[in-house]
Structure 1
Amino acid sequence: MKSTIDFNMPVAIVGAGLVGAGWAIAFARAGLSVRIFDNDPRISEQAIPWAVEQLNAMKAHGLLEQSPEEVAASLTRVTSLAEAVAGAAYVQESVLERVDVKRRLMEDIDRVADGNVMVGSSSSGIPASAFASDLGISPRVLIAHPVNPPYLVPVVELVPSSQTSEETVTFVDKLMAGIGQSVVHVRKEIEGFVLNRLQAALLREAWALHREGIASCEDIDKTVRDGLGWRWSFMGPFETIDLNALGGVADYANRLGPLYYSIAQSRIADGPWDAQWIAQVEKDRRQHLSMQDLAKRRDWRDERLMEFAAQRRSAAGR
């Protein structure tokens, strides 16, 4: 299959919630024309006004070279899937995290899109083979899983299925790198991919520590926020341990490997998060943040991410 896709062609966002609207900002900021569609018109109507708010905040933090108005002018709301994908080079799917919903959408895209469009799914853990196999479009579909919000946190995992073509992987790699994302290639399909499997391991232990009365939610958060997170904000786990032993990673692994194995073995049968356990964690968290303040705290988080992104950009330019 020879590609005839022009990178100057528009991209489409299908699913305009927080993740989809965030992707719209990431593409528009890079100068691409973006069409936004959602089956729920109330959601799609909110996407561009919300994006403008974020663009203004980004400009205030020095994260936007253009004016917010210039970037926002690249965003267009459309009212049908056919209109969204017509002539598009790429579709970023960000619909509900359910196999049946994603499968129906892939079948719909297969019917209305031309034979060149590439599709990336924002799926957080469902592999593409579970919802995008055995269609005409299957060679042009892969996972492009971001961290939310993708316009502030740059990593994106690219996960092909067994039916995804190499050309698709190459194209989406270039597209994502071209809009400023940090591309991770996941070489084999696995539930949760890399990011959420790493996050799952930390969350599993965090919940278990809370259940056993070893530490509160706040103290567990402090351990990451004021401890591990400081290094993890600019280096990963392998580099961290490589620098934490005089003899490097092998020295660290030989000395502390048995401890980590023992810890892992202690959690083999800890079970799922049941309703009672979830209620206990919810009660603990609400002591530090009320439900009424969740939205404000999300805005606070995004402000901190903007500040951090500005600092990272400044440091990279030195």
Structure 2
Amino acid sequence: MTRPTPLAAPLAAHVVAIVGAGLVGSGWALVFARAGVRVQVYDPVAEVRARILPWARESAAALAEAGLIEDIEAVIGRLHVFDTLAEALDGATYVQESVFERVEVKTDICRAIDALMAPDTIVGSSSSGIPASRFTEGCVHRGRFLIAHPVNPPHLAPVVELVPAPWTDADALEGARELMQAAGQVPVTLTREIDGFILNRLQGALLNEAWALYDEGYASLADIDATISHGLGLRWAFMGPFETIDLNAPGGIVDYAARLGGMYHAMAQSRTPRAWPQETIRRAGEERRAALPEAELAARRAWRDKALTGLAAFKKASGLAP
């Protein structure tokens, strides 16, 4: 095993290993290759490994067309796919784990990484809501493990949540933050663990209300979606909820809270948290499949990524990008 580059070294001197190369892992590979880093990718499934480079080339071409990268061949040339975990980890300063979202699966892969990694390597998990303490406690190098949760797809949505386990080394958390910033991502650092982290707790609050409104028959899925895509989402594309309300009252955030805080509190009290009703989920599935047949899901994801690429280009041109 080659010793990894010190964390303080220039970005181009680092090696990043990607473990798990599905939708999220492939996006991560492109994030670091685009930033000038050698990327070593491993997935246990041969078919997945075979798809990585063709997908990356197609995605890099879309980024180049939008003016977000300049040299496609240089980006693709930094991607290296390996058949074994040991080869992918060789010399890695940072490892991004993106395997299936199950505690037992993540426990197994983290222990395998732990057995092969250098002591100073940092390992970030793409876990969407499971804290690292639930699958890294038994690792010898557990102080080097943390959560690095992206938005999907990570090469188009730059925010990444960094969540330490109780035993994560302070320099590992800081090293991950510095690496993400250098790679063009927007790291959000949590002070401690919480299920769902920040992003999915915020998304969950919105989803819970959306399901309740749909279940109670107030509006269709399409109309509920429209309130976000053609309303709240327009502002949220470049500012968060606190800045939004700060600008929505003459006296700023304190004035907004004085005017509307009571209304929001009353709405929250009117809701009793409950599981999403299975019958409502079934109806929602029928409504969505009537609007978008299952066979067209992949094409719609490609449409989404193209739209996100255009939005990223706009934000860069407007000085709104990180």
Q: TM-score, normalised on structure 1? A: 0.96
Contact 2:208/2:276 (8 A) holds in 1: no
CA–CA distance in structure 2, aligned partners of residues 47 and 267 of structure 1 = 45
1:81-139 alpha-carbon deviations (Å, 9 max, x no partner): 11111211010000000111111111111111121211000000000111111422111
Give the equivalent residue in structure 2 for 1:28: 33
Q: Secondary structure at the match of 1:268?
A: coil
CA–CA distance in structure 1, aligned partners of residues 14 and 258 of structure 2 = 52
Q: Structure 1: which 4+ aligned runs deviate by more than 4 Å?
A: none
Q: 1:168 aligns with which of 165, 172, 192?
A: 172
Give the equivalent residue in structure 2 for 1:45: 50
Q: Secondary structure at the match of 1:246?
A: coil
Give the equivalent residue in structure 1 for 2:229: 225
Q: Secondary structure at the match of 2:318?
A: helix
CA–CA distance in structure 1, aligned partners of residues 101 and 58 of structure 2 = 26
Give the equivalent residue in structure 2 for 1:148: 152
CA–CA distance in structure 2, aligned partners of residues 292 and 82 of structure 1 = 37
Q: TM-score, normalised on structure 2? A: 0.95
Letter in 2 for 1:18: L
Q: Indicate whether 1:280 and 2:286 are aligned.
A: no
Once the two structures are superposed, the pairs formed by residues 189-204 of structure 1 within 5 Å of their partners are: 189-204=193-208
Q: Secondary structure at the match of 1:273?
A: coil
1:142-180 alpha-carbon deviations (Å, 9 max, x no partner): 100000111111101100011001110111111000000
Once the two structures are superposed, the pairs formed by residues 58-73 of structure 1 within 5 Å of their partners are: 58-65=63-70, 67-73=71-77
Letter in 1 for 2:196: G
Give the equivalent residue in structure 2 for 1:211: 215
Once the two structures are superposed, the pairs formed by residues 1-318 of structure 1 within 5 Å of their partners are: 4-5=6-7, 6=9, 7=11, 8-65=13-70, 67-269=71-273, 271-316=274-319
Letter in 2 for 1:219: D
Contact 2:238/2:320 (8 A) holds in 1: no
CA–CA distance in structure 1, aligned partners of residues 15 and 50 of structure 2 = 20
Contact 2:101/2:128 (8 A) holds in 1: yes
Gaps of 5+ in 2: none
Deviation at 1:317, TM superposition (A): 8.2
Letter in 1 for 2:19: V
Contact 1:160/1:169 (8 A) holds in 2: yes
CA–CA distance in structure 2, aligned partners of residues 300 and 249 of structure 1 = 36
Letter in 2 for 1:12: A
CA–CA distance in structure 2, aligned partners of residues 145 and 210 of structure 1 = 29
Letter in 1 for 2:45: D
Contact 1:21/1:48 (8 A) holds in 2: no
Contact 1:139/1:168 (8 A) holds in 2: yes
CA–CA distance in structure 1, aligned partners of residues 28 and 320 of structure 2 = 25
1:19-71 alpha-carbon deviations (Å, 9 max, x no partner): 00000000000010001101111111111111111001111111112x21211
> What is the Cα-based RMSD across aligned positions, in Å?
1.4
Q: Secondary structure at the match of 1:183?
A: strand
CA–CA distance in structure 1, aligned partners of residues 275 and 320 of structure 2 = 45
Q: Secondary structure at the match of 2:96?
A: strand
Contact 1:243/1:249 (8 A) holds in 2: yes
CA–CA distance in structure 1, aligned partners of residues 244 and 65 of structure 2 = 33
Percentage identity across aligned positions?
A: 50
CA–CA distance in structure 1, aligned partners of residues 187 and 121 of structure 2 = 20
Aligned length: 314
Q: Secondary structure at the match of 2:95?
A: strand
